[in-house]
Amino acid sequence: MSTDKSSSLYGQRRQKAQSNETTSSNLAFASQLSSLISQESNSTSSRGRQRPSKNPKSDIFSKHNKGSLKRAAADLADDNRALKQVHRSSKDLGDVDSATLGRSRRRMDEKARIYDDMKKGLYLAGDSDDDEQYDPSKPEDYLARLRRKEREGLVDFDRKHADEEENKQDLSDDDNASIISYEDEFGRTRRGTRAEAAEASRAIDEANGGKVGQERWRPARPENLIYGAAVQAEAFNPDATIASHMSHLAARRDRSATPPEQKHYDADWEVRNRGTGFYAFSTDEKDRAQQMEELSRVREETLNKRRSNKERLERREAKIKWRLEKIQELKSRKMAAQFMTDLEATVIPTDKLEQANKPEQTDHTEQVDQAE
C-alpha cells in the first residue's frame, strides 16, 4: 500500500497547515484597518461637530490628488480678480519712468487711429458692387465680399443721428407740403396743410359737442334711454313677433280644472312630521273643516286665558306697588317720631338744670344778707 502526502485517511481531506509567517503586505493592511477602526470609534463616541484634522493621515480609501485644494483656491482668486476691477494710483505703483509713459501713449494713439480707420472703412480692401460677379474659385473675391459685409455691419453713430434728423425733417416737410381743402369752424372753405385741417376739425368738434375731441375714448351715450316714470306702450301693443310668441305660450298652458286638487293637506305627500306645530289634517274636506273649527276654538280659549293671566298679573303688581308705598310712608312717619323724641331728650335736661340752680342762688343771697 503506497502512502502519499496528499492522500487522505478514510476518505477525509487533510487539513492544511496554517503558516504563522507575516508578510509586509499583511502588516500594512492590518495597520490600515486598525487605523480605520480607531477613526470610526472616535467619530461615534464624540458628540460635537466633527472638525477636519490639520494633518490627515492617508488611507487606502482616500483619493490621491495632491495639491487639489491649492489649485481650487487659486482658481477662485483668479475669478475674483477678473470680476472685480482694482484701481491703483501712482502711490501704489510707484514712479513710472518717461519711457514707459511714452510707450503707453504711442499704443493709445495707435488704437485711436485704428478705430478711426474702422469707422471710415479705410482698412478694408476694394470690393465690387455686384454680388453676381463673385467667383468661388478666386479667394480674393471671397475675402472682399466678407469685408464688405463686415463694413456694412459696422455702425457710424454720428452718421446715424444725422440721418434720423434728416428723415424727421423730410416727414414734417411732406406733411406741410401737401395742401388740401377743408372747412373751418365758421363754415368757410379754406386751403392749407394737413396739420391745419386737423386743428380746424378739432375746433369744430369742441364747438359742437363740448369735449368730444378730448374724450374720444369715452363711448357715446345711448339715445333710447328712459328717464323717470314712463308708460311702455309696447307692453300693451306688442309687435307681431311678440304676439305670436305669447299665443304659443298660451296654447301650451295647462287646461286642467281650476282650482286644482287640494293636495296641500296630504301629510303623506312630504316629510312634515318633524316640523314645528305639525298637525295631520284629514284628507276629507268635512273632517278637515271640523278640525279647523276645533283648532280655532282652542285658539280663542288660549288667547282668553292669556289675557286673563295678564290682567291678574297687572293687578298683583299694582297691589304690591301700593303696599310698598304704604310701608314707605309708615317708615318715614316712624323715623320722624323718633327724631322728635331724640330732640326732646336733648333739650329738656338743660332746662331742668337751670330751674334747679335758681333756688340755690336765692338761698346764698339770703345768707349773705343775714350775715351783714
Residue 169 has pLDDT above 80, yes or no: no
Residue 215 has pLDDT above 70, yes or no: no
pLDDT of res. 283: 81
pLDDT of res. 334: 92
Residue 159 has pLDDT above 50, yes or no: yes
pLDDT of res. 167: 75
pLDDT of res. 235: 64
**179 DSSP β-pair partners:** 193
Q: Which of 2-6, 21-25, 138-142 has the lowest mean pLDDT?
A: 2-6
Name residues whose C-beta falls within 8 Å of residue 45's C-beta, 6 or more positions apart in sequence.
none
pLDDT of res. 48: 56
Residue 369 has pLDDT above 60, yes or no: no
> Which of residues 212 and 305 earns the better pLDDT score?
305
CA distance 218 to 221: 9
Name residues whose C-beta falls within 8 Å of residue 233's C-beta, 6 or more positions apart in sequence.
none
> Which of residues 366 and 154 earns the better pLDDT score?
154
CA distance 245 to 251: 10
Tell me the average pLDDT of the chain: 72
pLDDT of res. 225: 80
Residue 243 has pLDDT above 80, yes or no: yes
**C-alpha cell at position 245:** 310668441
Global pTM value: 0.24
Residue 12 has pLDDT above 90, yes or no: no
CA distance 291 to 155: 106
Share of the chain above pLDDT 70, in %: 54
Q: Which of 173-182, 224-233, 278-287 has the lowest mean pLDDT?
A: 173-182
> Which of residues 134 and 15 earns the better pLDDT score?
15
Given pLDDT bands bounded at 50, 70 and 90, which one contains residue 128? very low
CA distance 339 to 350: 18
pLDDT tens digits, one per residue of 271-327: 666 666 777 888 888 898 899 999 999 999 999 999 999 999 999 999 999 999 999
Q: Which of 164-168, 323-327, 353-357 has the lowest mean pLDDT?
A: 353-357
Boundaries of every domain in the chain: 104-126+134-209
Q: Which residues of 34-69 are buried (b: 16+ CB within 10 A; e: fewer)?
A: eeeeeeeeeeeeeeeeeeeeeeeeeeeeeeeeeeee
Phi, psi of 226 (to 5 degrees): -110, 125
Residue with cell 276645533: 294
pLDDT of res. 127: 44
pLDDT of res. 209: 64
Element (H, E) at 201: helix 194-209
pLDDT of res. 188: 84
Residue 227 has pLDDT above 50, yes or no: yes
> Which of residues 129 and 57 earns the better pLDDT score?
57
